[in-house]
């Protein structure tokens, strides 16, 4: 099961790679309107859009992380460049 991206995670990942909403939407194959609404929390991300964004970010070596392994919610979530050693003890989402 893949964790759905939150608006904050999408916005942070987009900032990490230096793209505008328009650029990310075009490159990931979703609409800018939908992306903007996902980022603002106006509507939940769809499974299809989630997969497209995850694939796009993964191809650019962006990794989503969470500090909390036990909880069902994302506590301390963030993004980073994928490290060369993937066994770093940090939970990826």
| Summary mean pLDDT of the chain | 85
Q: State yes or no: pLDDT of 21 exceeds 70.
A: yes
* ∠ CA 60-34-80, rounded to 5°: 25
What is the number of domains present in the chain? Answer: 1
For residues 53 and 5, is the Cβ–Cβ distance under 8 A? yes
* Residue 61 domain flag: yes
pTM: 0.80
Check: CB of residue 79 under 8 Å from CB of residue 65: yes
Using pLDDT thresholds of 50, 70 and 90, give the confidence band for residue 7.
Answer: very high
The answer to whether residue 49 is domain-embedded is yes
**Angle (deg, nearest 10), helices 32-40 and 21-28:** 120
Mean pLDDT over residues 13-20, rounded? Answer: 96
**Assigned domain for 2 exists:** no
Query: What is the C-alpha to C-alpha distance for residues 56 and 36, in angstroms, rounded to an integer?
Result: 17
Question: What pLDDT is stored for residue 50 in this prediction?
Answer: 94
Q: Is residue 1 part of a domain?
A: no
Q: What is the DSSP letter of 60?
A: T
The answer to whether the CB of 68 falls within 8 A of the CB of 9 is no
Q: pLDDT tens across 41-92, in order? A: 999 999 999 999 999 999 999 998 876 556 555 566 788 888 776 655 556 6
């Amino acid at each position: 099961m893949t964790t759905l991206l939150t608006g904050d995670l999408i916005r942070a990942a987009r900032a990490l790679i230096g793209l505008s909403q328009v650029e990310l939407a075009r490159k990931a194959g979703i609409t800018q309107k939908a992306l903007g609404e996902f980022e603002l929390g106006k509507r939940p991300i769809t499974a299809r859009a989630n997969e497209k964004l995850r694939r796009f970010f993964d191809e650019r070596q962006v990794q989503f992380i969470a500090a909390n392994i036990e909880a069902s919610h994302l506590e301390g979530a963030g993004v980073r460049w994928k490290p060369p050693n993937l066994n770093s003890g940090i939970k990826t989402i």
